[in-house]
Structure 1
Amino acid sequence: MRICVVALGKIGLPLAVQFASMGHRVIGADVDEKVVGLVNAGVVPFPGETDLDTKLEKVVAEGLLSATTDTAAATAESDAVVVVVPLFVDGDGKPDFKWMDSATKSIAAGLRPGTLVSYETTLPVGTTRTRWAPMLKEGSGLTPGEDFSLVFSPERVLTGRVFADLRRYPKLVGGIDEASARRGVEFYEAVLEFDERPDLGRPNGVWDLGSAEASELAKLAETTYRDVNIGLANQFARFAGAAGVDIAKVIEACNTQPYSHIHSPGIAVGGHCIPVYPRLYLWNDPDATVVSAAREANAGMPEYSVGLLAESYGVLDGAAVLVLGASYRGGVKETAFSGVFPVVEALRARGAVPYVSDPMYTPDELAKLGLPAHQGAPVTALIIQSNHEEYKKLGAADFPGVRVVVDGRRVTDPANWDGVKHVVIGA
């Protein structure tokens, strides 16, 4: 097949490489000329994705993958178009479709009869049928479901392990009609391979959920579940801390029972997914009080963590505090909705002087993110925001003069902090 993947980001590029690795000819379309140039040179434009460098170099050398900034032209050459353009929400939780609208109009300009269009970007329920189908029809003159196939098939992978996740999890597909769904199933069966999963109770592979709306809801539901679960864990942790109970031991005990799957509490919930998709769900279902309460609970954890520091340290006015970790999670060079931003804001609100360091970022890169990079100034307190591997061996000897450390991820060993007040969430 000839396949166009629209947006060569941290999900789109591995997808394009996966499709090409199966022997299909793939054109990656992206608005960033620098990204396009790097991909055409066989160079990964971002770090951290397992095996992407070697796989990309191979398929580019074999002539199976190329990149362009001309989405319409790439669409016109393709049998299938897979869309992985980011969707953002504003501060009120309202979806901002600007980037996706632009990409969809470009796709429509090059759309030919018989093409499959698959949206993988997480969407509010109903978006594929009520927004993309009319937009594609208007721009192409073609009728969805008759002249071309249209499906929603959510990405279900985690950055850093995309290729492994593509094999492990069933690929969900929902079409705007039965014919579109069949075409979508056939497409993904031809571009993906799956691990054996006896635990699923049915064969791993491509699952038709019956409609685009069901597929859209499945992605929102599985991700919103995680936010709600973490929100509950955070509330348990706050109560446990006040009661002098170690919540980690409680959760470990609870999860030995097969119906309990309590997640881990922590200083923040970041990334492109968990902080965002519950808001997309709430846009559809604003009366979902459980979802909104969990989102509020999780959003309050950075301020709560700074409060823990103040309880042990005393007045923070003028205190130099180093925040360890800008990334939203360990091992990933990404700051989308990272807890570092509200932690820094909460420290400043209490009069502290915050600094930030991260082994994955240079001081200049941190400065470009609007973060106060640490360049050797003495500090008297630490807040650990990311669970980078490098932090596991840290101790008091690494930070002379530090009086208190708040480990928001339970990544450090308390035994290494002799003479320093070591604080964790939920204990």
Structure 2
Amino acid sequence: MNICVVALGKIGLPLAVQFAAKGHRVIGADVNAKVVELVNAGSEPFPGEHDLDVKLKETVSAGLLTATTDTTAAVAQSDAVVVVVPLFVDAEGTPDFGWMDSATKAIAAGLKPGTLVSYETTLPVGTTRTRWAPMLEEGSGLKAGEGFHLVFSPERVLTGRVFADLRRYPKLVGGIDEASAARGVEFYEAVLDFDARDDLPRPNGVWDLGTAEASELAKLAETTYRDVNIGLANQFARFADQQNIDILKVIEACNSQPYSHIHQPGIAVGGHCIPIYPRMYLWNDPTATVVRSAREANAAMPAYAVDLLAAAYGDLTGAAVLVLGAAYRGGVKETAFSGVFPTVEALKARGATVYVSDPMYTADELSAHGLTPHAGESVTAAVLQADHAEYRELAAADLPDVRVLVDGRRTTDPARWEGVRRVVIGG
């Protein structure tokens, strides 16, 4: 097949490489000319995705993957179009469709009869049918379901392990009609491979959920479940702090029984998915009180971690505090909705002087995010925000003036922090 992947970001580019590695001819379309230049040179535009560098070089060298800034021209050459353009929501959870609208109009201008269009960007329920279908019809002169096929098929991968996750998890597809769904199933069966699994209700592979709306809800539901679960774990942890109970021992005990799957508590929930999609769900379903309460509980955790620091340290006015980790999670160079920002804000609200360090970021990169990089200044307190592997080796000797460490991820080795008051959430 000839395939166009629209948006070559941390999900789109690995998808394009995966499709090309299966022998299909892939054109990646992106508005960023620098990204297009790097992809055409076989050079990964961002670090940290396992196997991407090697696979990208192989598929580009084989002539199976090219990139362009001209989305319309790329679509005109393609039998299938996969859309992975970002969708953002504001603080109230209202979606901003600007980038996706622009991409959809460009796709429509190049759409030819018989093409499959698959949206993988997480969407509010009903968006594929009520927003994208009319927009594609208007711009192409073709009728959805007859002139072209249209499905929603959510990405279900984590950055850093996209290729492994593509094999591990079933690919969900929902069409605006039966013919579109059948075409979507056929397409994904031709571009993906799946690991054998015995823990699924039906064989691993491509699953047709019946409608685009069911597929849209499946992505929102699975991500919102994680946010609600973490919110519950965080509430358990805060109660455990009051009762001098180690919540991790409690969670381990609970999860030894097959009906309990409590997640881990922590200082923050960040990234493009878990903080965002529950708010997108609430935009569809504003009466979902459980979802709203969990989101509020998780959003309050950075300030709670600073409360723990103040309780152990005392007045933070004038204290020099180092926040360890700008990334939203360990091993990933990404600050999207990272807990570093509310943590720094909460520390400054208490009068502290705040520095930030992260092994994945340069001082200039931290400054560009509005953070003050640590350049060796003496600090008397520290808050661990991201669970980078490097922090497992961190010791009191590395920060000799620190009196209190709040480890918001339980990453540090207690034996390395003798002489320092080490505080954990739920401990």
Q: Same fold per TM (> 0.5)?
A: yes
1:309 matches 2:309: yes
1:117 Cα deviation after fit: 0.1
**SS, match of residue 200 in structure 1:** coil
Task: State the AA in 2 paired with 1:35.
Answer: V
Q: Which residue of 1 aligns with 2:96?
A: 96
- How far apart are the structure 2 equivalents of 1:197 and 1:250? 29
Q: What is aligned with 2:163? A: 163
Q: Are 2:86 and 1:59 aligned? A: no
CA drift of 1:91 comes to 1.1
**2:335 and 2:224 mapped to 1: Cα distance?**
20
Counterparts in 2 of 1:184-263, with a 5 A limit? 184-263=184-263
- Aligned AA for 1:396? A
Alignment match, 1:294: 294
CA deviations on 1:256-298 (whole Å, 9 max, x unpaired) are 0000000000000000000000001000000000000000000
Counterpart of 2:134 in structure 1 is 134
SS at match of 1:81: strand
DSSP 3-state at the match of 1:172: strand
Match of 1:342 in 2: 342
Q: 1:414 Cα deviation (Å)? A: 1.3
Q: Deviations over 1:22-81 (max 9, x none)?
A: 000000000000000000000000000000000000000000000000000000000000
Deviations 1:182-223 (A, max 9, x none): 000000000000000121132110000000000000000000
The Cα offsets for residues 346-405 of structure 1, whole Å up to 9 and x where unpaired, read as: 011000000000000000000001111111111000000000000001111111110000
Following TM superposition, where does structure 1 have runs of at least 4 consecutive aligned residues deviating by more than 6 angstroms? none
Q: Paired residue for 2:325?
A: 325
Distance 1:134 1:393 in 2: 55
Question: Does the alignment pair 1:177 with 2:177?
Answer: yes
Aligned letter for 1:69?
A: T
Match of 2:399 in 1: 399
Give deviations 1:70-106, integer Å, cap 9, x for gaps.
0000000000000000000011110010000010000
- 2:20 counterpart SS class: helix
Alignment of 1:151 onto 2:151: yes
Greater mean deviation of Cα atoms: 141-150 or 411-420: 411-420
User: Who is 2:81 aligned against?
Assistant: 81
CA distance in 2, matches of 1:267, 1:198: 34
Where do 1:12-23 residues align within 5 Å?
12-23=12-23
The equivalent residue for 2:107 is 107
**CA shift digits 1:296-332 (9 cap, x unpaired):** 0000000000000000000000000000000000000
Distance 1:258 1:361 in 2: 40
Report the counterpart of residue 276 of structure 1 in structure 2: 276
| In structure 1, C-alpha distance between the alignment counterparts of 2:32 and 2:394, rounded to whole Å | 39
The residue identity in structure 2 corresponding to 1:231 is: G
Aligned to 2:29: 29
| C-alpha separation in 2, matches of 1:125 and 1:201 | 24
Q: Distance in 2 between matches of 1:84 and 1:418?
A: 48
Question: SS state of the match for residue 201, structure 1?
Answer: coil
Q: Give me the whole-angstrom Cα distance separating, in 2, the residues matched to 1:20 and 1:413.
A: 43
Distance in 2, Cα, partners of 1:356 & 1:247: 28
1:3 is matched with: 3
Cα-Cα RMSD: 0.5
Distance 2:287 2:321 in 1: 40
Query: Which letter maps to 1:96?
Result: D
Structure 1 Cα separation of the partners of residues 256 and 198 of structure 2: 21
Residue of structure 1 equivalent to 2:50: 50
Q: Distance in 2 between matches of 1:116 and 1:16?
A: 16
CA distance in 2, matches of 1:129, 1:292: 26
TM-score (norm 1): 1.00
Normalised TM-score (structure 2):
1.00
Amino acid aligned to 1:131: R
Equivalent position SS for 1:207: strand
Cross-structure match for 1:380: 380
SS in 1 for 2:81: strand
Counterparts of 1:129 and 1:116, CA distance in 2: 14
Aligned pair count reads: 427
Unaligned runs of 5+ in 2: none
Q: Deviations along 1:90-148, whole A, 9 cap, x unmatched? A: 11110010000010000001000100000000000000000000000111111000100
Could you tell me which amino acid in structure 2 is paired with residue 2 of structure 1?
A: N
